[in-house]
Amino acid sequence: MSKTISTVTIVLLLPIFVSLIVVVVSVYALSPASGASNDPTSAQLYYQASAMISAGIAFGLSAIAAGLGISAAGSAAMSASAERPEVRSLGIIICGLAESIAIYGLIVALQLIGKI
């Protein structure tokens, strides 16, 4: 058994780590000890906190989905290109489409943060 961390483990754990950082930063930024606001109402705090947590979840889940899609499509594309080299560019295009899921998640997260 190898002691190295596999790429799949990194692809799955990195978005979860980023989501947790977003949640921690949003909780700290919205706490009264940070002094970030001048007595906001509880409804405003709830709206801001839910937007930050939603942004973290949106990006985290889309990055996990993109990682799983790229791992499946990438391995299939490399297998297919070993048998038929002319399908290599099609495999790269399919991997790029899977990567666009993470980009869409990032755009949604930035829009949610921009609403605050």
What token pair was written down for 42? 């509880």
Per-residue pLDDT of the chain (116 residues; tens, 9 = 90+): 455 666 666 666 777 777 677 667 666 666 655 555 556 676 777 778 788 888 888 888 888 888 888 888 888 888 888 899 888 888 888 888 888 888 988 888 888 888 76
Confidence (pLDDT) at 76 = 87
CA 76 vs CA 24, 80, 92, 105: distances in Å: 38, 6, 11, 24
Instruction: Answer yes or no: are the C-beta atoms of 23 and 53 closer than 8 Å.
Output: yes
Instruction: Answer yes or no: are the C-beta atoms of 91 and 49 closer than 8 Å.
Output: no
Confidence (pLDDT) at 1 = 47
Alpha carbons 6 and 92: distance in angstroms, whole number: 22
Select from 1.20.20.10, 3.10.20.30, 3.30.470.20, 3.30.470.10 the CATH code of 18-28+42-114. Answer: 1.20.20.10
Confidence (pLDDT) at 87 = 87
Confidence (pLDDT) at 38 = 57
Alpha carbons 96 and 84: distance in angstroms, whole number: 20
Alpha carbons 45 and 28: distance in angstroms, whole number: 12
pTM of the predicted model, to two decimals?
A: 0.61
